[in-house]
Amino acid sequence: MSSTNAREEGFNLELRVYLIQYLVLAVFIALGIRFYVLQVARHEDYQARAENNRIRDIPIPASRGAIFDRNENLLVDNASAFNVVVTPEDITNKEDTVNALVQNLDIDRGELLVELNDPLRPKSQPILVKQNASLADRAWVAAHELEHPEITIDQQPQRVYKYGKLAAHLLGYIGQVNPKQLENPEFKAAGYKSGDIVGQDGIEKKYDRELRGQDGMRRVIVDSRGMPKAELARIEPIKGQDIILTLDLDLQKVAEQQFYSKNETGAAVVLNPQNGEILAMVSVPSFDPNVFARNVVSTGSRKEVAAIVNDPSHPMYNKAIQGIYPTGSTWKILMATAALEEGTITLKNSRIVCGGGIQVGNRFVHCGKNHGMPDIHAAIVHSCDGYFYRLGLKMGVDIIHDWVTRFGMGQRTGVDLPGEVRGIIPSREWKKRVNPRDPVWKDFDTVLASIGQGSVAVPPIQLIRAEAGIVIGGEFHTPHLFKQAKETQLGAVKYYDDKPTEVKLSELTIETVDYGMWGVINEGGTASGVGFPREINAGGKTGTAQVIAKEKVRGKEHKDHSWFISFAPMHTDQKPEIGVVCITENGGWGASASAPKVKMIEAAYFSKKLGRPILPELVALKTQPKRETTRPATGAPAKPNADPKRRPGTP
Amino acid sequence: MVDIQRKFKDVDWLLLLAPIALTAFGCVGISSSAPDGSFVKKQIFSLGIGLAIAIAIMFTDYRKIVMNIAPFFYAAVLILLVVVLVWGTQINGNKAWLRIAGFSLQPSEFAKAATILMLARHLAHQRQTSLSIKDMLIMAAIVMPPLILVYAEHDTGTTLTFGAILGTFYFLGGMRKVFLGIGVVAVAVGLVAVYPHLKRYQIERINVIIHPEEADPRGFGYQTIQSVIAVGSGGVLGKGIGHGTQGRLGFLPFAWTDFIAAVIAEETGLIGVLLMMVLYLVLIWRLIAVAKASRERSGSLIVMGFVGLIAFHILCNLGMVVALMPIMGIPLPLMSYGGTAVMAMFIGVGLALSVRMRRFVN
């Protein structure tokens, strides 16, 4: 083949070859520099990103501790639930994901967006969007695994309140920690993080640290689809401590049934006066805490929660510790004790005229009837207002205030439940503060305060703590529900640390009060017609708390609140071992609505103690009346007395 | 004919060993990232065939190939490209593969070699110092049939490669500066004109390079970002062969083809990358040396055609791996998994060896 040297022809191929050679060299140098930049200068950054790519910490939630009653009957436990979770890190198109969840799994868009847009939440932490996923939900998630790898099914423990509404106020409920709580330094210090489930009320809240346990973690290598390929490390979760309450399930059932069976609302506290252990605590109406456990962002359960929160009868409100009511005549026990201790009266010389009432300035304040000139015993037994009006005037408001304050009135009892209120115990300073138009304390105020009316308003728990302290001889125990936390890897066994406040009271005073209360039931007193079994030797005191007159005019449901406080046994050589306080809202006279309830509770207590069966109808919670589903017949809106926000001077 | 002994003395061993080393290097990356071991076996098998082809070509006079065989090879490749369009197997959206007896054949790879030979053949007898318009039109006419057929396969990367081959030969042939200017303007105008008609993914791939910080890390930016992470996390020494996580855990999809360099960079670090680049430079330098030494134009042109092809592939592929170029499906010569591509490259090597062996024979 004939060929021609390119150079001879003036066709400068060689130059072009050189040009290409240098061009190639330039390209290689540029690429080399780029590799150097990525692999040396920015190496650490990319190394971290490569690690983030492939290593993921998947939390293993710890089961919360179970809650038992004093006889180790299970009250609250965990069941395994299938939950739908979304991992924000794996979301490619937020709008698509949100639409898919809203349309197919019935999840609330607004709530979901709040969760998704939470800047505090780590992107790798899955968001629980639906608890208790149905079979259909699970099938949908499985079928859309490829389009939506960010949506997965997770098996997690779910809180189960075995008895639904029963004792809901004291057990409380759980929910995801909210942003406000996270800002709380105490929460921060305890290591709570966004998305954690925490106790939001009751025992669940108060003992959250004990109950919550410690989440475990799986550190896994994942592939580009987020599927775990291998496990690098695993920290097993540690279950929270089981808690044993002082509560007695049977008594709780009996106590609640007293209200439900009569379609009445109110509160009751049953405790052991000798140590403050709460055996039952009732607040009616109630709510089902399971609704909160189920609730995350599915529309259905949001509605259920909203129904509870917005219910005008305020079912979430624990009247036993948050409802404040005038004490009515139950107050007379405190008055009598104070007067005897102060020496205003002596047992030998305690007769004061009743007079059917008293003239104060231009007003006459009535007693129920004219009791003649009773002594202190008769005054208690027959609840003579006239006697106590005059006794109050003799003592003066300062001394009354001083003594009831020593008994803990107007202060929180320290019960181990969140949200307890202080109530109001009027004094000169108090009146000056809340009533600037009429700042001066008058005799008329003293007269009203002497029988627990007027401005006196306290939660039932405060009243029973004070009077329990007196009847057992001056030992004021803190009412409490916590008995024991069982040992786990996390915490040693814990018991309640009972530190009673001592107030020195004379034997004679105690004996007088004790005998008076016994007389109320057993010597033809105000509660003698209630039919307390003789052998239990119960003593008590009725009370009728006036509902503001204006309210009364509006409808007959605004009858007075009915109080009864009782201890048993009394007037024997034994100290009382059970104390019950009960308030029936708009129940009328003390002996008519509340005393029968207290009788049933005490009867049940002693039946149980003697090993006898408790009458089945007392515990027949399953046959609860219509209140379960329908609004109470009385339809009473929030009682002014039961709403602390409406009362002046309430902390 | 020269005797065998002298021929062996004239073999450029570096020119033969460098591509073998590169293929072997590629096999390391393929074994680290491909889903099963058969990929490496097939690649080694292709290397064997490629070597056989190269040696066969080496012993053949390249001038015979250019003058007598090239048109038939070109015609056969065009027929195969048509056949592929009709009966081809679709892989990842490209209908570029023919399945024959258990092997996938990618005719477009052979088409590159055939086109280079045809262009070299046309320019072999050129006498002018610069290309006439007629020459340029004829050259374009040579390139267009395979280019159009490949474009019909939706193989954008390979289509661009044909443009690059044509450009290389225009440059080698001595295109007038006027045309060079016109060409640059035409390409610029063409890009602007084409840009709005690009598919969304193509636009996004370009945008990823221009605005990496705005790219959707889970969407269009995904491969580029994951590739850069793989390269960067490799550091100087690499994570060790078989210990790369980006490639192994599937963060780099199809790493064994277009992103083989990212796998190498992740596992062997900058050291491995530099070794790879040195091997490529050795290959290209030896090829250029052959081109310079050739006393005959068609020999120089064939070899420089392959140099242009290899350089374009390296620029595009490594540029893509380090996020300097958009993703366009151009494999890394010899290293990316793909039997036909390896064979086609060894055709080039064989031709270069043949040219070198006959450098004094004029």
How does DSSP assign A316-359, residue by residue? T--HHHH--B--GGGGHHHHHHHHHHHTSS-STT-----TTEEE
pLDDT digits (tens, 9 = 90+) for A87-97: 887 888 888 88
Alpha-carbon distance of A327 to A450, in angstroms, equals: 11
Query: Counting runs of H as helices and runs of E as strands, what totals does chain B give?
Result: 15, 3
Between chains, do A39 and B295 touch, taking CB under 8 Å as contact? no
Residue A2's pLDDT band (cuts 50, 70, 90): very low
Percent pLDDT > 90 in chain A is 45
- A174/A203 Cα distance (integer angstroms): 10
Question: Residue B36's CB: how many other CB atoms inside 10 A?
Answer: 8
Q: Which residues of B are less than 8 Å from A25 in CB distance?
A: 281
Q: How far is CA B350 from the centre of its chain?
A: 15
The nearest CA of chain B is from the CA of A46 a distance in Å of 5
Among B135, B109, B103, which residue's Cα sits nearest to residue B121? B135
Q: How confident is the model at residue A557 (pLDDT cuts 50, 70, 90)?
A: low
Which residue among B216, B226, B315 places its CB closest to the CB of A27?
A: B315
**B172-206: pLDDT as tens digits:** 888 777 887 888 888 888 888 877 777 777 777 77
Residue of A nearest to B261 (CA): A35
Residue numbers in B near A5 (CB within 8 A): 295-296
Closest CA to B172 of B32, B57, B299: B299
Q: For residue range A206-253, what is the model confidence (pLDDT) as tens digits?
A: 999 899 888 888 888 777 666 777 787 888 888 899 999 999 999 999
Are the beta carbons of B229 and B257 closer than 8 angstroms? Answer: no
Higher pLDDT, A634 or A84: A84
Nearest to B231 among A30, A39, A92 (CB): A39
With an 8 Å Cβ cutoff, are B233 and A49 in contact? yes
Q: What is the pLDDT of residue B212?
A: 65
Q: Quick check: B245 and A3 CB within 8 A?
A: no
Residue among B114, B170, B113 at smallest CA distance from B140: B170
Range of weakest confidence among A277-286, A444-453, B35-44, B310-319:
B35-44
Check CB contact under 8 Å for A36 and B297. Answer: no
| Res B239: pLDDT | 87
What are the chain B neighbours of A225 within 8 Å (beta carbons)? 250
CB-based contact B232 A47, cutoff 8 Å: yes
* pLDDT for residue A401: 94
User: Nearest CB to A36: which of B229, B233, B270?
Assistant: B270
Are the C-beta atoms of A306 and A292 separated by less than 8 Å?
A: no
Q: How many CB atoms lie within 10 A of CB B192?
A: 9
CB contact under 8 A, A20 and B288: yes
CA-nearest of A339, A354, A349 to A389 is: A354
Phi-psi bin for A570: left (phi > 0), alpha (psi -120 to 50), beta? Answer: beta
- For residue B250, give how far its alpha carbon lies from the nearest alpha carbon of chain A (Å): 5
Q: Which residues of A touch B126 (CB under 8 A)?
A: 11
Q: Kindly write down the DSSP assignment for every residue of A371-388, as one continuous string.
A: --S--HHHHHHTT-HHHH
Q: Is the pLDDT of residue A462 over 60?
A: yes
Give A4 to chain B, closest Cα distance, Å.
6
Looking at the complex, report in whole angstroms how far the Cα of residue A14 sits from the nearest Cα belonging to chain B. 7
Look at residues B360, B350, B358 and name the one whose alpha carbon lies nearest to residue B303.
Answer: B350
The residue of chain B with its CA nearest to that of A23 is B311
With contact defined as beta carbons under 8 Å apart, do A603 and A575 qualify? Answer: no
Chain A CB contacts of B176 below 8 Å: none
**Bond into A569 cis (ω within 30):** yes
Q: Quick one: which of A621, A649, A2, A635 has its CA closest to A255?
A: A621
Tell me whether A27 touches chain B (CB under 8 Å). Answer: yes
The per-residue pLDDT for A647 is 36
| Confidence class for position A34, pLDDT limits 50, 70, 90 | very high
3-state helix, strand, coil in chain B (%, to 5): 70, 5, 25
Q: pLDDT tens, A320-374? A: 999 999 998 999 999 999 999 999 998 888 899 998 999 988 889 888 888 899 9
- Which residues in chain B have their CB less than 8 angstroms from residue A20's CB? 168, 171-172, 288, 304, 307-308, 311
Which residue, A571, A565, A568, is CA-closest to A591?
A565
- Residue B166 pLDDT exceeds 70: yes
Q: What pLDDT is stored for residue A597 in this prediction?
A: 93
pLDDT greater than 80 at residue A649: no
Instruction: For A48-75, give the secondary structure using H, E and C.
Output: HHHHHHHEEEEEECCCCCCEECCCCCEE
In A, minimum Cα distance to B292 occurs at A14
Tokens coding A638: 């929030």
Distance (Å, rounded) from C-alpha A372 to C-alpha B63? 143
Separation of alpha carbons A323 and A451, rounded Å: 19
Q: Is A95 on the interface with B (CB under 8 A)?
A: no
For residue A194, the distance in angstroms to the closest alpha carbon of chain B comes to 25
pLDDT, residue A5, reads 45
Q: Which amino acid is at A248?
A: D
Whole-angstrom distance, CA of residue A164 vs CA of residue A174: 14
- Please tell me which residue of chain B has the smallest CA distance to A36: B270
- Classify burial at B264, counting beta carbons within 10 Å of its beta carbon; exposed 0-12, middle 13-18, buried 19 or more: buried
Q: Say if residues A608 and A574 touch (Cβ distance below 8 Å).
A: no
Q: Cα(B346)–Cα(B362) distance, rounded to whole angstroms?
A: 25
* ipTM reported for the complex surpasses 0.85: yes
How many beta-carbon pairs under 8 angstroms link A with B?
A: 154
- Sheet containing A55-60: order of strands: A55-60, A216-222, A228-235
